[in-house]
Amino acid sequence: MLSLLTRPRGALDGGKMVDDRVKDPGSGDYFVPAVTVDEGIARIFGLTGGRDPGRGEKRALIALRDALDLDVDVVRTNSVLGRSLAEAMAVEWNPDRHTVRNKVTLDGLNVLLKGATNLYRNGRLKVNASAKFSTLTGPHWDDFRPAQSKIEAVTRIAALTNAPPETLGPGAKEHKSVLENLADRALSDVSLDRSSKTRLARSLAEHFDVAWTDTCYSTGETISLEGLNTVLAGAERYLGRLGKPDLVGVPNPSGEADLLVSVIRDGWTGEPWDGRATVQWLRSNNLRGANDNEWQGFYFEGRSRELAASALGPPTNSPRVRFGSTIFDYARDFIWDFKAHTEASRLPVSGKEIRGRAELQLNDANAVRECVDQQGLGFIVLSGAATMDENGTFVAWHREFKAESGRRTAPSNSERSRTRKSAFSPLRVDAFWIGTSFALDEAVTAGVMRVAEQGRQAPKEPGTAGVPRAPKFHLDVVRARGSLMVASRSWIAPDARGNI
């Protein structure tokens, strides 16, 4: 439910027009639950500013304890610590559902994550940057929100002076340009040591009056995340932007899209996703899709959410994510849904390659329209090449895999079995943004998008008809690259014309 103020919409408050539709961060309409334990842990670290994901849920719970300023001994079990955190945040805690023995379940993590998100958005979660970086000591850094990853750090440094967007090089290495642009725009009249990237970073830190230590860089002219955060914090304070919410996040959809596609591109090597390993990962994380023919889409969503949670900070906005029965996949400052698109199919036995359809199925048409009308909506689309299971070995294994969990293969409406995908190779990831209902209508008129009736769901019994499905929007990916695309990355090198 949305919280409503008693005054009429558009009433004056202190001479300013206000909107009475107050977003309730604790509402299910504005909270996206984590779908894996790793995602939940990463998001708690993001809210608290803590960084130690390698130690699992215990460190995340301790980081939340510290952010709530609670006095709970670290030797207590996770289940006891979880209950104490829930009590402190005044959220409901059910030991039977939220704990298993001494561990906190995914449901329990989501209860804590939702409570922490609510407190964070209301400015009631304590974050102490000086506790995380040796270069930032003292309470005057309490308002600094550290970047969780290098891509977030360089993006925020560039945004401080409206410099061009930044990317990372091979091995997630920052480019010297992020420091050069900051120097040129923020300290144009200052003589700096530009003889190397690390020397320039140190020189910037000195002029921003922040410490620069051996932990800020490493061999090979690489600046550490601590070093980038040190420069970022110093620059924010120097420019009067320390703790300003519009620069903690990325204040426009194209900037956020660039962050997301960069994180996804850096999260995979471009090697094919093996079908067996992928569905086993889905099963081990209790995710949908392990029994599905289009397993690559579920894997892309689940892993992308984990990558984004680990690499990007929490939202400064609280966009609505639920429309009817549709919950969109990801919310930072803007709403995004993750989709996998088969651009080509490779037949390893016959040696053929078949071009895939340009069109991609999106979400429920009514949900898309309502979301676009209220706040805009984006799609992160991974295009790849599928390796088809020509000899049937994967489908035989997959049926046995499903049978082990008591899941039988559903019959087909057409009574024909399609050739399955045994592997999927990522080729490129694109971000498409639809900002207004007018933009959506333009896309429909231009043939970039259309509403399509959907076939029935698979029948429960042979000889019967499946349940009807609501119409969905479809996207012509090729045409959309020329009109709706706001960011893109590729795993393949461009040709002589720059095409990928």
Higher-scoring residue by pLDDT: 102, 227: 227
pLDDT band at 170 (very low <50, low <70, confident <90, very high): confident
In the block, which residue shows the tokens 């401080």?
A: 160
Confidence at residue 204, expressed as pLDDT on a 0 to 100 scale: 96
Q: Is 149 a domain residue?
A: yes
Confidence at residue 465, expressed as pLDDT on a 0 to 100 scale: 56
Confidence at residue 135, expressed as pLDDT on a 0 to 100 scale: 85
**What average pLDDT does the structure give for the chain?**
83
Clarify whether residues 94 and 187 are in a common domain.
no
Q: Is 88 a domain residue?
A: yes
Q: Is 6 a domain residue?
A: no
Assessment of whether the complete model's pTM goes beyond 0.85: no
Confidence at residue 255, expressed as pLDDT on a 0 to 100 scale: 84
Confidence at residue 230, expressed as pLDDT on a 0 to 100 scale: 95
pLDDT band at 251 (very low <50, low <70, confident <90, very high): low
Query: Does residue 408 register a pLDDT over 80?
Result: no
pLDDT band at 440 (very low <50, low <70, confident <90, very high): very high
- Torsion angle defined by CA atoms of residues 405, 406, 411 and 412, in that order, rounded to the nearest 10 degrees: -20
Query: Does residue 244 register a pLDDT over 80?
Result: no
Clarify whether residues 206 and 107 are in a common domain.
no
Clarify whether residues 200 and 291 are in a common domain.
no
The average pLDDT across 421-450 equals 96
The average pLDDT across 312-329 equals 86
Clarify whether residues 223 and 304 are in a common domain.
no
Domain endpoint, select from 187, 218, 248 = 248
Query: Does residue 466 register a pLDDT over 70?
Result: no
The average pLDDT across 96-112 equals 91
Confidence at residue 496, expressed as pLDDT on a 0 to 100 scale: 42
Clarify whether residues 318 and 343 are in a common domain.
yes
Higher-scoring residue by pLDDT: 359, 457: 359
Clarify whether residues 152 and 77 are in a common domain.
no
pLDDT digits (tens, 9 = 90+) for 15-24: 332 233 335 5
Domain endpoint, select from 202, 226, 248 = 248
Q: Is 14 a domain residue?
A: no
Confidence at residue 368, expressed as pLDDT on a 0 to 100 scale: 97
Higher-scoring residue by pLDDT: 131, 261: 261
The average pLDDT across 332-349 equals 92
Clarify whether residues 56 and 185 are in a common domain.
no
Q: Is 1 a domain residue?
A: no
Clarify whether residues 214 and 341 are in a common domain.
no
pLDDT digits (tens, 9 = 90+) for 204-214: 999 999 999 99
Q: Is 307 a domain residue?
A: yes
Distance from first CA to last CA of the chain, Å, rounded? Answer: 45
Confidence at residue 246, expressed as pLDDT on a 0 to 100 scale: 55
Domain endpoint, select from 99, 121, 143 = 121
- Name the phi and psi angles at 357, rounded to 5: -70, 145
Higher-scoring residue by pLDDT: 20, 38: 38
Query: Which range in 34-48, 116-130, 395-409, 432-446 is most confidently predicted, on average pLDDT?
Result: 432-446
Clarify whether residues 391 and 366 are in a common domain.
yes
pLDDT digits (tens, 9 = 90+) for 40-81: 998 998 888 765 545 578 888 888 998 888 887 766 788 888
pLDDT band at 7 (very low <50, low <70, confident <90, very high): very low
Clarify whether residues 294 and 338 are in a common domain.
yes
User: Regarding beta strands 377-388 and 335-347, do their DSSP bridges make them parallel or antiparallel, or are they unpaired?
Assistant: parallel
Clarify whether residues 299 and 234 are in a common domain.
no
Domain that holds residue 149: 129-248
Query: Does residue 27 register a pLDDT over 90?
Result: no
Confidence at residue 348, expressed as pLDDT on a 0 to 100 scale: 87
Least reliable range by pLDDT among 189-203, 223-237, 291-305, 462-476: 462-476
Q: Is 134 a domain residue?
A: yes
pLDDT digits (tens, 9 = 90+) for 258-305: 889 989 998 888 889 999 999 999 999 989 889 888 999 999 999 999
HEC per residue, the chain: CCEECCCCCCCEECCEECCCEECCCCCCCCCCCCCCHHHHHHHHHHHHCCCCHHHCHHHHHHHHHHHHCCCCCCCCCHHHHHHHHHHHHCCCCCHHHHEECCEECHHHHHHHHHHHHHHHHCCCCCCCHHHCCCCCCCHHHCCCCCCCCHHHHHHHHHHHCCCCCCCEECCCEECCHHHHHHHHHHCCCCCCCCCCHHHHHHHHHHHCCCCCCHHHEECCCEECHHHHHHHHHHHHHHCCCCCCHHHHCCCCHHHHHHHHHHHHHHHCCCCCEEHHHHHHHHHHCCCCCCCCCCHHHHHHHHHHHHHHHHHCCCCCCCCCCEECCEECCEECCCEEEEEEEEEEEEECCCCEEEECCCEEEEEEHHHHHHHHHHHCEEEEEEEEEEEECCCCHHHHHHHHHHHHCCCCCCCCCCCCCCCCEEEEEEEEEEEEEECCHHHHHHHHHCCCEEEECCCCCCCCCCCCCCCCCCCEEEEEHHHHCCCCEEEEEECCCCCCCCCC
Counting residues of the chain whose pLDDT is more than 70, the rounded percentage is 83
Clarify whether residues 284 and 415 are in a common domain.
yes
Retrieve residue 31's tokens: 């909270």
The number of domains in the chain is 3
Q: Is 236 a domain residue?
A: yes
The average pLDDT across 216-242 equals 91
